[in-house]
Structure 1
Amino acid sequence: MRSLRNWWDDTAGGLPATFWYLWAGLLINRAGGFAMLFLSLYLTEARGASESLAGAVVGAYGIGGAGGVLLGGVLADRWGRRATLVAAHLATAGLLVALAFSRHLVMIAALAALLGVVHSMPSPAFVAAIVDVVPEQRRSRAFNLQFWAFNLGMAVASLLAGLLAEASFVALFLVDAAATLTAAVVIAVKVPETLLRRRVAGAPLPAGGRRDRPPGLHTALTDRTFLTFVGLTLVLAVLTLQTSTIMPLAMRDDGLRPSAYGAVVALGGVLIVLGQLFVPRLIDGHRRDRVLAVSTALLGAGFTALAVADDLPVYLVAAVVWTVGQMLAAPPNAQINADLAPPELRARYQAVFYLAFPVASFVAPALGGVSLQYLGERHWLIVGGLGFLAAVGHLVTGPARERRVAALRRAVADRREPALAADG
């Protein structure tokens, strides 16, 4: 019993109440966030859209998402984390209700694009708020729990979405709106504003930042150390998205049924839900660049194995390998991203970081489809090779990242001492 208590304290102890309310809001939102999973099916079956038109509407949602992460980052740094989260959740709930009762495809497309914007706005604000309130030594745990909540919520959403879609597409949107509204209430009532309004003169700018302009998105977009890390994260995202974009096609070409694909995806979800809470103890004491190198290499190895996969057991074994890589990567990836951001630009840096995911959602299917068509199973050798190259990239760039993080910490400490003396 004591060992179980020690494990729980080590995994989730020492985190402030505000974090847990943020965590609850994220879990509720993800568990109810299933309308977009069936948007293309809704358009073709309930609204009579062609497959190409349905794809264009879903693409509009993705384009809106790219703009949403940037807007969310700017608002979270200027307006506040809590205000941005509440506004985005309320707007999402309203748009979902409007989508439930819209009949015209032009209106649905416009609403989907707007929904992409407000759906993506909370991501930078969530992470910035977590960094604001969680002590540095506990952030790895916090990000691990965030990743776990996201995947647990998605697993619940996947189960509920199919049932609701069979009953009523209108109910699908309305229940999603209700869950989003519930998350907004939790955040509005229980989460205080975490943005420190006071600005300290002499705030350090990262390499590439310009002092003749007020710091903003351009600072993050010209920070070479940070952008190198974002580029490696983009590779990670492209690899991860192979499971939902290209792998189904490869399994079909191998003569496997859709149920086999479902089994592979379900196995990954089960592993994350059951095993993610054990990751912090596994990676404690290890350098983060080495953990990321190992995790990315595991992703590369898992996808390389698909070059020789012809039946379900090989796919399942490969899924175990790349899922372990994903699990190991989540905490250090999020923590490095947070550590590289100056405090006054925290949400903007998160916004630039999150751009990697909509970019990957375009690159993975667009280039992957061409690669699979013309190269066949050699496509997986290329994917695996990208993983191994990214692993080397983490090892090469890791020391520079750590020096940059140390310099930022010293600068923040130097600025904090005069401010504390003035307050005293």
Structure 2
Amino acid sequence: MKSLFQIYINSYRGLSPAAWLLALVMLINRTGSMVIPFLGMYMSSELGFSKTQIGLVLGCFGLGSVCGSWLGGWLTDRFGSFKVQTVSQIAVIPLFLILPYFQTFETLALMIFVLTMVADIFRPANSVSVARYAKPENITRAYSLNRMAVNLGFSIGPALGGFLATISYNWIFYGNAIAAAIAVIVFIYFFKNRAQNEAPKKEENTSTKTKERNAYSDGMFIVFNILCCLFSMGFLQLLSTLPLFYKDVYSLDSGQIGLLLGFSGFVIVIFEMVLVHFVEHRLSIRQIMFWGTAITGMSYYMLNLDFGIVWLYMAMFILSTGEMLSLPFMATISIKRAGLSNQGAYMGFNSLAFAAANIFSPYLGTYIAEHYGYNVLWTIAGTTLFIAAIGFYWITTKMKV
């Protein structure tokens, strides 16, 4: 017991105060993560959209995310992460407030695209900030801390969103706006005059020519991001078809679904830092990526079996375990592959890989569920993740990470 407690304490040691403050901002920001898990249900229950229309609107969510991720990386390398994060967080506030007034398929699709593009400009800038404020030996744990904040917010957000949805779906959008406003105030207060660990000048880096690759012509990194996209195609069913599955097959209400989705965030908050600290010095990155992705795939296979609500929580626990092993190391691989002057481009490209999956994943998921059933969908999702696991093992060997 003492040894386990010591591992838990050690997993948090060495992290800078700035890393903790960034995590606090992210916690507040993601506590407003109420729209995404309930967007499909909102379109189904309130607006009467078909599953195909829901998939297309969620595809616009992904398209906006692609544009925002690329633009965020480009802007970060030119204007700095502080300005980009500030403008993005301020701009989403009015967009969330007016979103409930767009209720036709065409106008809602357009608004979701704009909202997501503006919101996801934030992501590459935030990833660069984490790297700039972290010690080199603590980068993976710094990303894990940030993800812990994301998931703590995500455990609170859906639970709160489920409660608000029982009153009115409009309150979910208003809740997101309030959370964004609080987050940007806290961010500006703590980071306006805080110095980052700036990258050395180019002339100091002449001996590390390989680190000055172009993110979008780096062949191995392109393959790595294709695999990240493939991973996301399976994993992101969590935010699109999985809530619909809970509603259609298990007849769960909004509150129950919010608690089940929030359970994922709770598991990650409790275990991720310890798990990352435990495995990063015992397993190679390629082993971690392989097993993390394979475990994620296993969780979707589990959904083909019906053992009641407890089984759903077990499957969510397995999914969360795979996520904890995979996602922090994807960010670490990306930032280590980057040069000192193009971290925004590399993190933006990696974010773009996840965003690209958001274009196709919701539509394909809802289409397969509607025409072939959920069991076929979960089998395809699990198989896709197992293929990605093999691919990660191969490419990380080639990249020598």
Please report the TM-score for the alignment, with normalisation by the length of structure 2: 0.83
Aligned to 2:145: 145
Aligned to 1:81: 81
What secondary structure, in the 3-state scheme, does the structure 1 residue paired with 2:14 have?
Answer: coil
What letter corresponds to residue 268 of structure 2 in structure 1?
I
> Superposition RMSD on alpha carbons, in Å?
3.5
Alignment-mate amino acid for residue 346 of structure 2 = Y
Determine the structure 2 residue equivalent to 1:344.
341
CA distance in 2, matches of 1:266, 1:93: 23
Q: Which moved more, 1:35-44 or 1:114-123?
A: 35-44
Distance 1:233 1:56, change over 3 A: closer
Distance 1:206 1:272 in 2: 35
1:378 & 1:49 partners in 2: Cα distance? 25
Q: Is the 8 A contact 2:211 2:340 kept in 1?
A: no
Q: CA deviation at 1:274?
A: 2.5
AA aligned to 2:227 is: L
The letter of the residue matching 1:356 is A
Q: 1:228 to 1:325 in 2, by over 3 A?
A: same
Shift of 1:59: 4.2
Alignment of 1:314-325 (within 5 A): 314-325=311-322
Q: Distance between the aligned counterparts of 2:197 and 2:77, measured in 1?
A: 7
Q: Secondary structure at the match of 1:241?
A: helix
State the Cα distance separating 1:370 from its structure 2 match.
Answer: 5.0
Counterpart Cα distance in 1 of 2:316 and 2:290: 18
- Classify 1:66/1:14 alpha carbon distance in 2 versus 1 (closer, same or farther; 3 Å): same
Larger RCO (alpha carbons 8 Å, 6+ apart) = 2
- 2:361 matches 1:367: no
Alpha-carbon shift at residue 283 of structure 1 (Å): 0.5
Is the aligned partner of 1:387 residue 2:385? yes
Corresponding residue for 2:216? 221
SS at match of 2:198: coil
Instruction: Give the whole-Å Cα distance in 2 for the aligned partners of 1:348 and 1:66.
Output: 13
Q: Is the CA contact (8 Å cut-off) linking 2:37 and 2:239 kept in structure 1?
A: no
- Give the superposition deviation at 1:287: 0.9
Residue pair 1:80, 1:193 contacting (<8 A) in 2 also: no
Q: 2:350 aligns with which of 349, 353, 369?
A: 353
In 2, are the aligned partners of 1:151 and 1:272 still within 8 Å (CA)?
Answer: yes
1:110 CA drift (Å): 4.7
What code does the residue aligned with 1:161 have? G
Shift of 1:124: 0.4
CA distance in 2, matches of 1:300, 1:107: 35
Runs of 4+ with >6 A deviation: 1-5, 43-46, 52-55, 249-253, 260-263
The reply to whether residue 326 of structure 1 matches residue 323 of structure 2 is yes
The Cα of 1:137 is off from its aligned counterpart by 0.8
Aligned length: 390
Contact conserved, 1:33 with 1:180, CA < 8 A, in 2?
Answer: no
Structure 2 segments unaligned to the other structure (5+ residues): none
Contact 1:208 1:224 in 2 (8 A): no
1:298 Cα deviation after fit? 1.5
| 1:178 corresponds to | 178
Q: Is the 8 A contact 2:231 2:385 kept in 1?
A: yes
Query: 1:11-410 alignment to 2 at 5 Å?
Result: 11-39=11-39, 58-99=58-99, 102=101, 110-168=110-168, 171-191=171-191, 192=194, 194=196, 196=198, 199-201=201-203, 209=213, 219-247=214-242, 256-258=250-252, 265-285=261-281, 286-307=283-304, 309-312=305-308, 314-369=311-366, 371=368, 373-374=371-372, 377=375, 380-402=378-400
CA separation of 1:40/1:391 partners in 2, compared to 1, >3 Å: closer, same or farther? Answer: closer
Cα 1:263–1:18 shift into 2, 3 Å: closer
Of stretches 71-80 and 33-42 in structure 1, the one that deviates more from structure 2 is 33-42
Q: Using the alignment, how far apart are the partners of 2:97 and 2:330 within structure 1?
A: 35
Q: Residues 56 and 362 of structure 2 are in contact (CA less than 8 Å); yes or no, is this contact kept in structure 1?
A: no
Give 1 or 2 for the bigger CA radius of gyration. 1
Task: Spell out, residue by residue over 1:19-71, the C-alpha distance to the aligned partner (whole angstroms, 9 max, x if none).
Answer: 2221111110000232455456666777x675577765554443222211111
Closer, same or farther in 2 for the Cα pair 1:5/1:267, shift >3 Å?
A: closer
Question: 8 Å contact 2:287–2:393 — kept in the other structure?
Answer: yes
Distance (Å, rounded) in 2 between the aligned partners of 1:208 and 1:137: 21
* Separation in structure 2 between the aligned mates of residue 5 and residue 228 of structure 1, nearest angstrom: 39
Q: 8 Å contact 2:69–2:351 — kept in the other structure?
A: yes
Residue 245 (structure 1) shift? 3.9
Query: Deviation at 1:148?
Result: 1.4
Matched AA of 2:342 = L
Determine if contact 1:21/1:186 at 8 Å carries over to the other structure. Answer: no
AA aligned opposite 2:252: P
The residue type equivalent to 2:117 in the other structure is: V
One-letter amino acid of the structure 1 residue matched with residue 300 of structure 2: F
**1:296–1:325 CA contact under 8 A, matched in 2:** yes
Structure 2: distance between partners of 1:186 and 1:92: 16
Moved more, 316-325 or 145-154: 316-325
User: Identity of paired residues, percent?
Assistant: 25
Q: Which amino acid aligns with 2:299?
A: G
Query: Following TM superposition, by how much is the alpha carbon of 1:76 offset from its aligned partner in structure 2, in angstroms?
Result: 0.8
User: CA-to-partner distance for each residue in 1:144-191, whole Å, 9 max, x for gaps?
Assistant: 111211111011111222333444555443442232122112222212
Map Cα deviations across residues 277-330 of structure 1 (whole Å, 9 max, x no partner).
3212320322111111111121233333444x1332554444433332112223
Aligned CA distance change for structure 1 residues 159 and 380 (closer, same or farther; 3 Å): closer
Task: Tell me, yes or no, if the aligned pair for 1:82 and 1:193 is still in contact at 8 Å.
Answer: no
